[in-house]
A and B are shown apart, each in its own frame.
Chain A
Amino acid sequence: MEVTASASASRIKIRQRSHASAVLQITLLSLTLLTIYGLITIDSRNVDVFAALGDMINNFRIVFTEPRLEKLSWFDLLRELMITVSLGLLTTVIGAVFALFLALFAAQNLAPRRVNDAVKALMAFVRAVPTVLWVLFFAVAAGLGSVAAVVGMAFHSVGYLVKAYAETFEELDAGVLEALRASGANWWQTVFQAVLPSSASALLSWTFVRFEINFSVAIAMGATAGAGGIGYDMFMASAFYLDLRELGMFTYAVLLFAILLEWSATRLKVTVGARRSY
């Protein structure tokens, strides 16, 4: 009796393992095939890769060993960097405020299931649209500039933060909520006395992660969507003045700031999990 029981138990386990490893192997195989196909069909526009790779190494040498400022002064560089940082900060704060409110309706333990699903589906859509497309979309109504950039970046931040915040809320101890409800606390009291205080540090970590992301996004939006700041200067140095040395100095500026942010995140024990997502 016991033998058959343990045999059937182990058989089930084996099947589960083999299912997992089959999925793993299929995933590996598909990634390999797609990669090979992607490399064969890449739009090469008659660029000789091997010659260009040598050129790239030489360009890296110029960028990283001979940086200098040409058109901008040190003060200008600092100001442009601060504009980009401000853009990242502003969009993170605006995104966090709206996301905090929406996440309460996206969390399964705080709102009815139907409301959860609606908010989550809407946010999945908002997240799936790349930030640059949001910014260009708002540029139609507001013109290219800081207004479109802030609104577009804040939109994508809301999509990202609602997911993160809602998952944080859902990890709350169900007993605490039940106890508060049983003692007659209304919904707002539950939120302000239990939900927000006990998840505050997790919410702050996620917000900081998003600030790191938004700093990079702000550079990218300066380069592609008229958001100004150091990204725009980098775009001009690259596409108009063809000045690798000045581009090198800008690169060092954004690299140092990004490393500073990453270092602070590690100090604040922010999870690595979810960095960099447009």
Chain B
Amino acid sequence: MQPEAFFRRRRLQSLLFLLIITALTYGGILMTQFDVTQGLMAIPRAFSWAIANFIPDERAWSRLPRILEKLQETVLMAVASSSIASVFGLGLALLGANTTRPHPWFSLPARALASVFRNIDVSVWALILLFSFGQSGFTGFFALFFVTLGFITRVMVETIDEVSTDSVEALRATGAGYTAIISQSVIPACLPQLISWVLYMIETNIRSATLVGILTGTGIGFLFDLYFKNFSYGSASLVVLLTVAVVLIIETVSNYVRRVIL
């Protein structure tokens, strides 16, 4: 009797859960006016179109230098914004973490600031920053910078409290000063984790930079948009293939680095 009742209740729970999800999904279909049959038909239609038209042609290869130049611009922007944001993020995390905060009052403002930075989407930052930096590379740079800063602060606050609570206590007992504790113990202990997160953010930010580029008219996103809207599908497909190649290469390199240093 007992196990039967248990299984009946579990079945009922899963059924209820499925029902709620189905209802929400149906509501979502109504809200977004998503046509399900059209959606299903779009997939084979898009791929059969792609086989005929979405392959690099003669003209695409002649544009290769320009595409590579823009791709490099996007990758460098992702690397620069992620790296600089991590340095600032580490600083903010040192103020926010329970182990390393100079005064308990620093913790909440630091964490709240990081929360605002990461919870406003990168596209929203770009739309706000467009007012000051216009269609320049700085719009994308700062949009990626803010989101990365918020994210790195959050994960590093957790890492610092996890990794260095004991060693900080030990060093404090020996009479070591604040800067000595931070530079000799906390930062070396957290560095591998930090690098791992920076590499993760670089991977993410290359894709985000493509998106921001469409908004701000910079980098590889802009070039894709340009070719796509001018029906140069061959060139647009080359942009996609090269972007994929770069993302996969960077993923492989960072997986290797992560495996060795962690």
Contacts and interface: CB of A to CB of B under 8 A. Distances in A.
Interface in A21-75: 23-24, 27-28, 31-32, 34-35, 37-39, 41-45, 47, 49, 52-53, 55-56, 59-60, 63
B260 A19 contact: yes
Contacts of B124: 219, 234, 250-251, 254
Given A132-B211, A228-B32, A35 B79 contact: yes
Given A151-B43, A251-B120, A278-B211, A223 B133 contact: no
Contacts of A39: 80
B84 interface: yes
A242 interface: yes
Contacts of B25: 89-90, 93
Instruction: Report the interface size class on chain B.
Output: 35 or more
Contacts of A136: 224-225, 228
Interface string A73-117: 000000000110011011001000000000000000000000000
A49 B221 CA distance: 23
B164 interface: no
Contact of A223 (B28, B50, B123): B123
A86 B32 contact: yes
Kindly name the residue among A24, A228, A276 whose own CB sees the greatest number of chain B CB atoms within 10 A. Answer: A276
Contact of A90 (B28, B195, B243): B28
Interface stretch (A3-11, A137-145, A170-178, A181-189): A137-145
A83 B33 CA distance: 9
B136 A277 contact: no
B46 A141 contact: yes
Contact of A238 (B83, B128, B141): B128
A38 B121 contact: no
A47 B129 CA distance: 13
Interface residues of A, number: 82
B243 A128 contact: yes
A52 B135 CA distance: 12
B137 interface: yes
B208 interface: yes
B127 interface: yes
A59 B142 CA distance: 14
Interface stretch (B101-109, B150-158, B165-173, B176-184): B150-158
A249 interface: no
Contacts of A244: 128, 131
B122 interface: yes
B120 A254 contact: yes
Nearest to A127: B247
A27 B127 contact: no
Nearest to B245: A128
Contacts of A239: 127, 130
B34 interface: yes
Nearest to A47: B136
B127 A224 contact: no
Nearest to A225: B214
Contacts of B28: 86-87, 89-90, 93
Interface of A: 19-20, 23-24, 27-28, 31-32, 34-35, 37-39, 41-45, 47, 49, 52-53, 55-56, 59-60, 63, 82-83, 86-87, 89-90, 93, 124-125, 128-133, 136-138, 140-142, 146-151, 216, 219-220, 223-224, 228-229, 231, 234-235, 237-239, 242, 244, 247, 250-251, 254-255, 258-259, 262, 272, 275-278
Given A34-B79, A228-B32, 9 more contacts: A38-B76, A43-B136, A131-B211, A140-B46, A146-B34, A151-B42, A224-B211, A251-B128, A255-B120
18 contacts: A20-B261, A23-B257, A27-B199, A28-B195, A31-B79, A55-B131, A59-B131, A124-B248, A125-B244, A125-B248, A130-B210, A146-B32, A148-B42, A150-B39, A216-B123, A228-B32, A255-B120, A262-B119
